[in-house]
Amino acid sequence: MQDLAVGHYRTFIVAAEALHSIGEEMTSVDKHLENLISEIPQLTSGCNEFVESGYQILDKRNLNQMLLTNHSIILDLLEIPQLMDVCAERQL
């Protein structure tokens, strides 16, 4: 057993160094994951604000679309006072 250990000494050293390196990398990954987890509530809040502003924009778009659809009717209604003035001046 001792001969095997001595014969593969360098392999054991490389394996130990690799294990140490993997441990450091796992610690780094753990820290990054903790940072990510701590930022998730802020991301969720930002997404909710984005969705809310999207709904507001959609509401405004729908109002503009309705205004455009009824444009000629609204224009006719707005011209009525002027037409009434003309009729009154001409006594029609």
Joined together, the tokens standing for residue 21 give: 């390196």
The pLDDT score that the predictor gives to residue 91 is 83
The pLDDT score that the predictor gives to residue 66 is 97
- At 70, phi and psi to the nearest 5? -100, 15
Q: Is the model's pLDDT at 4 over the cut of 90?
A: no
Instruction: Specify the residue for token string 């001969």.
Output: 3
CB 91 within 8 A of CB 85: no
pLDDT in tens, 26-78: 999 999 999 999 999 999 999 999 999 999 999 999 999 999 999 999 999 99
Confidence of residue 18 (pLDDT cuts 50, 70, 90): very high
Confidence of residue 1 (pLDDT cuts 50, 70, 90): confident
Which H helix or E strand runs over 5?
A: helix 2-7
Instruction: Specify the residue for token string 């224009």.
Output: 75
Alpha-carbon distance of 61 to 8, in angstroms, equals: 74
